[in-house]
């Protein structure tokens, strides 16, 4: 049954970001009575919770209710069909990092289902998928927002869109796009010239929870390459995939065949001298080494890897696991527009998702 002034919210994924999002949604629903944000669908990889009449699922206690559900998640086309047939406007919140879910975006958008997500896969995967998403959104008018796919809740994508939409010419984007890489290099090559052995820093970062369960998933540079792909496409470069431009992996060639992350970590110390050489070369020039991504719009060059910076450079002076993203544009001239802060973590990632959801709500209600 259609309800006046109601927006239906469907959530896929109840991991770290998903749980934080639900807690933000709960607070929000209590504070903002209109339009009513009504949870109508939620699923994990194994369970689902929804009512055929789209009636509201209480957000309070929903994780427990989902665990107790006897329903398995329908197939994604079935989920989309269910949402597209709803009597009210719908926002699908994809809190997974699944390529499989991302592949369903064109179908959902084409049927008028709005999408909000931190999932990088749809926007950094095959170029065709990206084109299909744009086409489906344009045709139906359904919105897709994905602020948290780059820099978590930091205003990166919204700022880039504003620059482009108002007619500025972005000439270059440069920054530290990985909280893991930020932490590693701020520890390994701090501006005051100290720092431990590379392998020890990687082990420390893992112990502190700053890396993926398998640190190779950070060190291969692919996560940063995905973020660069997203931003480069937004400025109009037809980047085919995150592997279609130079990406420097910090996994030594000899360790590419390791069977596990643990084996990799055990053997990494033997290659510390390689990173030490890079660090010393930078120090010889009075600089520090950092792992950065850059997009040169004029020459259409995108690259990810190690680079050297003066200690006073904002990229060198970064703290902790912060991200920094610099937008060089015609209007801003020689001093870029800079956004900086935590670029990972459940709460700040969910914040980007929640803020996006509110922007869509403001447009469709």
Tokens of 224: 């940063």
Q: How far is the CB of 309 from its own copies (least distance, A)?
A: 13
Q: Which residues pair with 306 in a beta bridge?
A: 291
| 263-302 footprint of its own copies as x/- string (CB under 8 A) | ----------------------------------------
Residues 145, 115: contact at Cβ < 8 Å? yes
Helix (H) / strand (E) element for 54: namely none
Rounded CA-CA distance 36/7 in Å is 6
The region of 20-28, 72-80, 237-245, 246-254 touching its own copies under the rule CB under 8 A is 20-28
Q: 96 or 321, CB closer to its own copies?
A: 321
- Residue 194 binding its own copies, by CB under 8 A: no
Q: Restricting to residues 167-186, which ones interact with its own copies according to CB under 8 A?
A: 167-168
Span near its own copies by CB under 8 A; candidates 48-56, 123-131, 153-161, 201-209: 153-161
Report in angstroms how near the CB of residue 32 gets to its own copies at its nearest: 9
**What residues does 174 pair with on adjacent strands?**
294, 326
Residues 317-346 that bind its own copies (CB under 8 A): 317, 319-320, 322, 327, 331-342, 345
Instruction: Give the three-state DSSP class for 270.
Output: helix
Q: Which of 50, 37, 47 is nearest to 69 (CA)?
A: 47
Q: Is 177 helix (H, G, I), strand (E, B) or coil?
A: coil
| Minimum distance, C-beta of residue 142 to its own copies, in the bound complex (Å) | 13
Please state, in angstroms and rounded to a whole number, the distance separating the CA atoms of residues 131 and 335.
Answer: 33
Which of 45, 98, 158, 171 binds its own copies (CB under 8 A)? It is 158
d(CA 225, CA 218): 11
Considering only residues 35, 112, 252, 314, which one is a binding residue for its own copies as defined by CB under 8 A? 314
Q: What does the CA dihedral 350, 170, 296, 161 come to, rounded to 10 degrees?
A: 30
* Least separation in angstroms between CB 178 and its own copies: 15
Q: Which of 89, 121, 206, 227 is catalytic?
A: 227
Which residue carries 């996560």 as its tokens? 223
Least distance in Å: CB of 272 to its own copies? 27
5 touches its own copies by CB under 8 A: no
CB of 331 to its own copies, least distance (A): 5
Size of the site for its own copies (CB under 8 A): 45
Cα–Cα distance measured from residue 17 to residue 185, given in angstroms and rounded to the nearest whole number: 26
- Residue closer to its own copies (CB basis): 74 or 155: 155
Strands (E), 143-281: 144-145, 170-176
Rounded to whole angstroms, what are the CA distances from 234 to 227, 302, 323?
11, 13, 19
Q: Which stretch binds its own copies (CB under 8 A): 67-75, 101-109, 128-136, 150-158?
A: 150-158
Q: How far apart, in whole angstroms, are the C-alpha atoms of residue 115 and residue 141?
A: 12
Residue 5 or residue 75: which is nearer to its own copies going by CB? 5
Q: Site for its own copies (CB under 8 A): which residue of 153, 221, 242, 293?
A: 153
Measured N-to-C along each axis, helices 157-165 and 222-234 cross at an angle, to the nearest 10 degrees, of: 20
Residue 143 annotated to the active site = no
Rounded distance between C-alpha atoms, residue 309 and residue 341, angstroms = 19
Residue 28 binds to its own copies (criterion: CB under 8 A): yes
CB of 332 to its own copies, least distance (A): 6
Sign of the four-CA dihedral 346, 349, 351, 357: negative
Single residue of 74, 155, 252, 261 touching its own copies by CB under 8 A: 155
Q: According to DSSP H, which parts of 214-345 are helical? A: 216-219, 222-234, 261-268, 272-284
Question: Active-site positions?
Answer: 227
Provide the binding-site residues for its own copies, judged by CB under 8 A: 24, 27-28, 31, 153-155, 158-159, 162-163, 165-168, 191, 312, 314, 317, 319-320, 322, 327, 331-342, 345, 347-348, 350-351, 354-355, 358, 362-363
């Amino acid at each position: 049954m259609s309800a006046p002034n109601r927006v239906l919210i469907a959530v896929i994924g109840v991991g770290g970001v998903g749980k934080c999002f639900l807690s933000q949604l709960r607070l929000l629903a209590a504070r903002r009575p209109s339009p009513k944000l009504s949870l109508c669908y939620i699923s994990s990889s194994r369970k689902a919770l929804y009512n055929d009449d789209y009636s509201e699922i209480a957000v309070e206690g929903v994780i427990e209710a989902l665990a107790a559900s006897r329903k398995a998640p329908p197939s994604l086309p079935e989920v989309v069909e269910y949402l597209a047939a709803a009597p009210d406007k719908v926002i699908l919140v994809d809190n997974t990092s699944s390529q499989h879910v991302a592949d369903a975006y064109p179908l959902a958008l084409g049927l008028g289902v709005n999408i909000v997500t931190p999932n990088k896969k749809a926007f950094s995967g095959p170029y065709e998928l990206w084109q299909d998403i744009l086409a489906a959104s344009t045709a139906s008018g359904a919105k897709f927002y994905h602020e948290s796919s780059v820099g978590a809740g930091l205003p990166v994508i919204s700022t880039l869109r504003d620059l482009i939409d108002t007619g500025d010419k972005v000439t270059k984007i440069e920054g530290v796009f990985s909280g893991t890489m930020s932490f590693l290099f701020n520890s390994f090559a701090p501006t005051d010239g100290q720092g431990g052995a590379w392998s020890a820093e990687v082990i420390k970062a893992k112990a502190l929870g700053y890396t993926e369960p398998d640190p190779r998933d950070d060190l291969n540079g692919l996560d940063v390459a995905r973020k660069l792909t997203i931003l480069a496409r937004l400025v109009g470069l037809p980047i085919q995939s995150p592997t279609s431009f130079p990406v420097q992996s910090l996994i030594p060639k000899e360790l590419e065949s390791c069977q596990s992350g643990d084996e990799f970590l055990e053997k990494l110390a033997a290659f510390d001298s390689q990173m030490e050489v890079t660090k010393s070369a930078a120090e010889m020039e009075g600089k520090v080494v950092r792992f950065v991504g850059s997009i040169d719009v004029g020459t259409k060059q995108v690259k990810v890897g190690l680079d050297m910076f003066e200690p006073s450079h904002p990229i060198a002076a970064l703290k902790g696991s912060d991200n920094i993203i610099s937008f060089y544009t015609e209007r801003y001239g020689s001093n870029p527009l800079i956004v900086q802060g935590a670029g990972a973590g459940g709460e700040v990632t969910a914040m980007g998702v929640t803020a996006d959801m509110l922007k869509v709500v403001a447009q469709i209600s």
